[in-house]
Structure 1
């Protein structure tokens, strides 16, 4: 395993693995063994050797960090190329569409490997990944709590060998885009929608938002609006999508889980982007003359996210102060000021702003 956190690396190497705590089993501890760790910043050669000798490479670094891991990956792949090693699957398990493809572009942009050489040594199948994974603490030490339910969807058309499934219990498909959008527009949209609206009402923990029955009902309605879009676009059945929404909400409300809104709602500028989880489904529903009355409120609430520990929230509020909320909407969402959707965002923004100001005054 490659990482940059010395404390995590030292802990793993001291015991040959790491602990996970199973949320759905009263936080039972499970030890994951036969793991070693290398600091890819401090031991470059060790990291290169690990990539050179690997059978498969996966990432879980957050989408914003793919650019940071590209240099060491490029060096490791170059070493594989020189030794004429077998072509390897590289799966970026990040919450980003075309995630592995993005990583591939980052590697190519460095100019250390030519495209035909990269094609000969590595395959970059895209993924859709979903699991409840939360940072926690045990006896003063950092720990990881994890839920039972998971989903890993892999684009089989981009594997080294489409007939060989390299990861057990993953789902392999020839159309990963529909699974990515289903997750992004329903689970991710619903989660951050509840976070931003919950912040307006003064909540700090996402589970407390879901304990508020009117807000839980509104969150479900927002997710159902997204589900209608997914049904129309990809042919998922309404019953399957209703079950998917219930699965997501039940997971959000897992007893004992405390998930901070600061985490759920982090990076608001990213999340109100024109290709992201709040704007895309609303825009596509509007284009199809389908209802989006609840979903649009998430965009308005996101504009009021002002957590002073979140760099993007600080940047967003500074932009609003300098340019006004109307220009902010146009600049960050790409929604035209003359559109009906724009006026609806403004209407809900003004209402939420009054609620927030009344609560804080």
Structure 2
């Protein structure tokens, strides 16, 4: 009998990466999401398409079927029941959803304890976030009673995973075929910390999982250099009125800045972890070949969305910038990319997170905005350096482009 997995978060990574791989691996998948329009569509259509592109640009399509979908609010009791009965739970969430996910998992853990279930409850945590397991453990401690916390300590295993596949919004043609479709890389593996083996045997894991002994290192390497490059392309490209990632990557000046931001971060991470993660020129060549490829039309608005999260202290820019300063490296280009994030505007944004950064800069000024969004304490020398670099870069950008920044 096929095993059951609940994926909390049915967005592009949840359904278009994890869901597709689990479907191909023969798992019974339940998608859980707060977005009622999305869960209603999944329930009605009962399938969706994943358009994948190989490194050579070849396209393949997977039609994902045989799943269930529940809304985490409207179908809450059913959703919690699925969590309590699942062989495996996976998350694909943004940080602002962590707290609610912890509450939901706490409900499921309470049910399992009351039913005296002795089997392990394994949750593979997925998000572009440094400190993922630590934060979830802290949230669970807040949500669980002392009795449930004892059960949690003995029977629940929270494990970090690394969501690496780049997924993006479908093209107009793909959307016409299927509004639920996702397009992305042809990546068929998921990195998971090897402490998952405390609760699941290797033979019982999904076949696409690759075990890592240090996902914290993997996460920092991904977010603090790869995603830094990615978001620098997005923020600078949007400021230059570009639409797609490949257009930004083909711009000589933007590409040079993003490349140097990546190299600053890589040098700092090499100081932290050793030469094993030092980037090679061949790797950089392949990276730019991927980003300049126009066969995958990844929207800059998608890459740059929610800039307030991406400019937070432990995230894509401030995390590596502080690591640079701590290791005697000046993060000039990382901070230049960050400064462009304060220019981010998305006129079509549904969520206020894309609009708040412009409102904040107008309301309290750029200096206070940098301190508040980036969490920088200018009384600390290292943080003051990063603050000053971002502020100076922002001021230069505004002056060079004669920008009048407004919010309406």
TM class by smaller structure: 0.7 to 0.9
Match of 1:92 among 110, 121, 125: 125
Matched, 1:336 2:378: yes
> What is the distance in 2 between the residues matched to 1:177 and 1:212?
33
Q: What is the match of residue 345 of structure 2?
A: 306
Task: Give the stretch that moved more between structures: 241-250 or 344-353.
Answer: 241-250
> What is the distance in 2 between the residues matched to 1:8 and 1:214?
39
Instruction: Report the TM-score, using the length of structure 1 for normalisation.
Output: 0.87
Q: What is the match of residue 333 of structure 2?
A: 294
Match of 1:3 among 25, 30, 33: 33
> What is the distance in 2 between the residues matched to 1:216 and 1:359?
25
Q: 1:32 to 1:156 in 2, by over 3 A?
A: same
> What is the distance in 2 between the residues matched to 1:280 and 1:142?
34
> What is the distance in 2 between the residues matched to 1:17 and 1:150?
20
Which residues of 2 match residues 259-278 of structure 1 at below 5 A?
259-278=298-317
Match of 1:51 among 74, 77, 83: 83
Matched, 1:348 2:393: yes
Structure 1 residues 73-99: Cα deviation after superposition (integer angstroms, max 9, x where no partner): 222222222223311210111111232
Q: What is the match of residue 191 of structure 2?
A: 153
Instruction: Report the TM-score, using the length of structure 2 for normalisation.
Output: 0.78
Q: 1:242 to 1:175 in 2, by over 3 A?
A: farther
> What is the distance in 2 between the residues matched to 1:228 and 1:162?
36
Q: 1:15 to 1:260 in 2, by over 3 A?
A: closer
Task: Give the stretch that moved more between structures: 99-108 or 50-59.
Answer: 99-108
Which consecutive residues of structure 2, in runs of 5 or more, have no partner in the other structure? 1-29
> What is the distance in 2 between the residues matched to 1:349 and 1:12?
43
Matched, 1:167 2:206: yes
Match of 2:177 among 94, 118, 139: 139
Q: What is the match of residue 127 of structure 1?
A: 161
Which residues of 2 match residues 1-361 of structure 1 at below 5 A?
1=30, 2-13=32-43, 16-24=46-54, 26-85=58-117, 86-111=119-144, 114-136=148-170, 137-139=175-177, 141-149=179-187, 152-157=190-195, 159-161=197-199, 164=202, 166-237=205-276, 240=279, 242-308=281-347, 309=349, 311-333=352-374, 334-336=376-378, 339-357=384-402
Q: 1:11 to 1:347 in 2, by over 3 A?
A: closer
> What is the distance in 2 between the residues matched to 1:261 and 1:232?
31
Which consecutive residues of structure 1, in runs of 5 or more, have no partner in the other structure? none
In the TM superposition, what is the alpha-carbon distance from 1:125 to its structure 2 partner?
Answer: 1.1
In the TM superposition, what is the alpha-carbon distance from 1:131 to its structure 2 partner?
Answer: 0.5
Task: Give the stretch that moved more between structures: 284-293 or 305-314.
Answer: 305-314
Q: CA RMSD in A?
A: 2.9
Q: How many residues align?
A: 361
> What is the distance in 1 between the residues matched to 2:343 and 2:168?
25
> What is the distance in 2 between the residues matched to 1:169 and 1:242?
29
Q: 1:223 to 1:140 in 2, by over 3 A?
A: same
Q: 1:139 to 1:67 in 2, by over 3 A?
A: same
> What is the distance in 2 between the residues matched to 1:233 and 1:243?
22
Task: Give the stretch that moved more between structures: 245-254 or 298-307.
Answer: 245-254
Retained in 1: the 8 A contact 2:49–2:178? no
Retained in 1: the 8 A contact 2:266–2:278? no
In the TM superposition, what is the alpha-carbon distance from 1:241 to its structure 2 partner?
Answer: 5.1
In the TM superposition, what is the alpha-carbon distance from 1:51 to its structure 2 partner?
Answer: 1.6
Structure 1 residues 128-157: Cα deviation after superposition (integer angstroms, max 9, x where no partner): 221011222133623111211365322223
> What is the distance in 2 between the residues matched to 1:89 and 1:221?
40
Retained in 2: the 8 A contact 1:307–1:313? yes
> What is the distance in 2 between the residues matched to 1:15 and 1:195?
33
Structure 1 residues 83-133: Cα deviation after superposition (integer angstroms, max 9, x where no partner): 233112101111112324433433332235631111223110122221011
Q: 1:230 to 1:203 in 2, by over 3 A?
A: same
> What is the distance in 1 between the residues matched to 2:85 and 2:69?
14
Q: 1:17 to 1:287 in 2, by over 3 A?
A: same
